Amino acid sequence: FNLKNNIPYFFLMHHHLPFLQHKNPLFLLQHPFDPKYPLFVKVVDSVRGSPASNVPVKLYKESAEGSWELLRGLPELTTKEQFVAGLYKLEFDTASYWKSLGLNPFHHHADVVFTANDAGNRHYKIVVVLSPFSYSTTAVVSEPVE
């Protein structure tokens, strides 16, 4: 699978994987293209042109009662059997990231809310591009995989 065909702007993403793992508690979400890990998250600092690998990330799933439940325990999401259909929220603590660089950012945090796997098991790549006064997010969603 050639990442260049999918997200040309981020063609160096796979080189940054070793840097993503050491601080981010959700590092197991960072494996691209591995059929065992259906959710891949990438956060980029567009000011410095670097991975924003120490942005705290939390993943929530909407419960039956309509509240957000924090998903702990990475094994829950490392297999497609665990990544069930539902409403998910990725919450990026972008303010802490910018403050650690000595900047006062505009956004309190960045949320990405999405429905997953409602029509078959798919692979999701969520990319978030940050600057102190803006952010952008894109999703690349595969066809249902067997």
Task: Out of 19, 27, 33, 68, name the contact with another protein by CB under 8 A.
Answer: 68
Site string for another protein, 113-142 (x = CB under 8 A): xxx---------------x-xxxxxxxxx-
13-34: burial string, b at 16+ Cβ within 10 Å, e else: beeeeeebeeebebbbbbbbee
Rounded to the nearest whole angstrom, what is the least distance from the CB of residue 97 to another protein in the complex?
14
Instruction: Give backbone dihedrals phi and psi of 130, rounded to 5 degrees, phi first.
Output: -115, 145
Site string for another protein, 8-47 (x = CB under 8 A): ----------------------------------------
Q: Which part of the chain contacts another protein (CB under 8 A), choosing from 22-30, 35-43, 77-85, 100-108?
A: 100-108
Rounded to the nearest whole angstrom, what is the least distance from the CB of residue 20 to another protein in the complex?
22
What is the rounded CA–CA span in Å between residue 32 and residue 17? 9
The answer to whether the Cα torsion of 6, 27, 25, 10 is positive or negative is negative
Q: Which part of the chain contacts another protein (CB under 8 A), choosing from 4-12, 17-25, 29-37, 98-106?
A: 98-106
Residue whose structure tokens are 């957000």:
68
